[in-house]
């Protein structure tokens, strides 16, 4: 068997033709194809507004700017997240404050969230890591009582639901999604913001294009903004990918179940679970291994790529953090992504499981 990559991005079924058509038609910048993509997402997610932008990172940045976050405001962020969540706050001069994760799940601890809230807290960003519900209803209850804005980081959660059946990223002021390479659907780079607040959506759209309605004929400068525009070329790819979303979500559940069954018989590794029966669907297969580096070397020698979990946010000294999260250390030290994604074949999973079985501590 050849090399098994950690993630394989599949572009087949018309993406190239669609992009070629957009270019041939002169649809290069933001235009009607972006609008069509946004409309289809509003229908799929059941939200009033979708605002497409250049990346999931910019979706977070744009959401904070439109929410009025300013210098020295506190933005509470879980210790387990991709660094973009914290950088979005840091880049506009806000103070990221890190909240511990749960002991056995890389999502925000409600107890520590309550402890970390102060009079300076402007926004809380729960992160739906790998399609997990980051206790969104509880976060909203805590924050609504204190008049704190909630913005969901749903970059890894498109198509995943909470226990009530609602899509993750649709319950708060804003939900931020990514269309980067290792996601269930991808346009290479890209992202979008969801919101049911029409006034907020209007601000997002203005700020996406330097704060003006018509960049070709601006009559006045109303609010600050920047160039966060998506393009019709990328939207044409994303639309073709969106057609495959439901099939890919079904496949992700099949892959999860196959790994779940196979890993039960394997010592030295522990699967980090999803609540599949509750509607959670994540793009990645995650495990704990106390000898992670040795396991990664073992898999690599057999032609299997894996990825170590990224570091805890609490260890980023340049953000002024003082200590790592109390419970997040195990995720940083032992967490590992196995080959994942809807393009993964059953035979490849079987080989990964066999290779894990042959790993000796």
CATH number of this structure's domain 245-357: 3.90.1150.10
Q: Tell me what pLDDT residue 326 has.
A: 44
Q: Tell me what pLDDT residue 314 has.
A: 82
Residue 325 pLDDT > 50, yes or no? Answer: no
Query: Alpha carbon of 354 to those of 298, 299, 304, 351: distances in Å?
Result: 12, 10, 11, 5
* d(C-alpha 74, C-alpha 172), whole Å: 18
Q: Tell me what pLDDT residue 206 has.
A: 95
Residue 328 pLDDT > 50, yes or no? Answer: no
Q: What is the pLDDT of residues 79-128, one digit of tens each?
A: 999 999 999 999 999 999 999 999 889 999 999 999 999 999 999 999 99
Q: Do the Cβ atoms of 161 and 168 come closer than 8 Å?
A: yes
Which tokens is 60 given?
């977070």
What residue ranges of the chain are covered by domains with CATH 3.90.1150.10? 245-357
* d(C-alpha 344, C-alpha 276), whole Å: 19
Best CA proximity match to 61, nearest among 98, 89, 93: 89
Say what the pTM is.
0.95
Q: Do the Cβ atoms of 193 and 50 come closer than 8 Å?
A: yes
In what order do the strands lie in the sheet containing 307-308?
270-271, 285-288, 335-338, 307-308
Q: What is the pLDDT of residues 212-267, one digit of tens each?
A: 877 777 878 889 999 999 999 999 999 999 999 999 999 999 999 999 999 998 98
Question: What is the CB-side half-sphere exposure of residue 152 using CA atoms within 13 A?
Answer: 32
* d(C-alpha 331, C-alpha 322), whole Å: 19
Architecture in CATH of 15-242: 3-Layer(aba) Sandwich (3.40)
Q: What is the pLDDT of residues 283-321, one digit of tens each?
A: 999 999 999 999 999 999 999 999 999 999 988 888 875
Residue 361 pLDDT > 80, yes or no? Answer: no
What residue ranges of the chain are covered by domains with CATH 3.40.640.10? 15-242
* d(C-alpha 325, C-alpha 101), whole Å: 7
310 burial type by CB count under 10 A (0-12 exposed, 13-18 middle, 19+ buried): middle
Q: Do the Cβ atoms of 279 and 160 come closer than 8 Å?
A: yes
**For helices 15-24 and 232-242, angle between their N-to-C axes, nearest 10 degrees:** 150
Band (13; pLDDT cuts 50, 70, 90): confident
Which tokens is 279 given?
């509607």
Backbone φ and ψ of 232, nearest 5°: -65, -30
User: How long, in residues, is the chain?
Assistant: 361
Q: Tell me what pLDDT residue 334 has.
A: 96
């Amino acid at each position: 068997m050849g090399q098994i990559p950690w993630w394989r991005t599949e572009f087949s079924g018309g993406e190239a033709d669609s992009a070629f058509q957009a270019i041939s038609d002169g649809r290069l910048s933001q235009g009607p194809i972006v609008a069509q993509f946004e409309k289809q997402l509003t229908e799929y997610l059941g939200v009033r507004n979708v605002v497409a932008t250049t990346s999931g990172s910019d979706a977070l940045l744009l959401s904070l700017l439109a929410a009025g976050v300013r210098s020295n405001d506190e933005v509470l962020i879980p210790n387990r997240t991709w660094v973009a969540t914290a950088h979005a706050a840091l880049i506009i001069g806000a103070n990221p404050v890190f909240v511990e994760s749960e002991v056995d799940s890389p999502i925000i601890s409600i107890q520590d969230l309550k402890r970390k809230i102060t009079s300076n807290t402007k926004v809380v960003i729960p992160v739906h890591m790998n399609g997990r519900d980051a206790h969104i209803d509880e976060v909203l209850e805590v924050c609504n009582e204190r008049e704190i804005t909630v913005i969901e980081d749903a970059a890894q959660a498109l198509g995943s639901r909470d226990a009530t059946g609602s899509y993750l990223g649709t319950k708060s002021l804003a939900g931020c999604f990514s269309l980067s390479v290792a996601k269930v659907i991808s346009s290479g780079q890209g992202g979008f913001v969801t919101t049911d607040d029409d006034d907020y959506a209007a601000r997002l759209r203005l700020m996406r294009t330097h704060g003006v309605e018509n960049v070709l004929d601006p009559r006045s400068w109303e609010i600050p903004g920047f160039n966060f525009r998506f393009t019709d070329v990328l939207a044409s790819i994303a639309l073709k990918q969106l057609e495959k979303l439901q099939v890919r979500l079904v496949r992700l559940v099949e892959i999860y179940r196959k790994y779940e069954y196979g890993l039960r018989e394997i010592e030295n590794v522990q699967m980090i679970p999803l609540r599949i029966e509750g509607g959670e669907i994540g793009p990645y297969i995650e495990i704990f291994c106390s000898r992670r580096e040795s396991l990664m070397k073992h898999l690599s020698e057999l032609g299997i790529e894996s990825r170590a979990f990224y570091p805890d946010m609490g260890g980023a000294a340049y953000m002024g953090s003082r200590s790592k999260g109390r419970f997040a250390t195990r995720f940083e030290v032992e967490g590992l992504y196995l080959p994942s994604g809807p393009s993964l074949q059953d035979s490849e999973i079987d080989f990964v499981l066999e290779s894990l079985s042959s790993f000796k501590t």
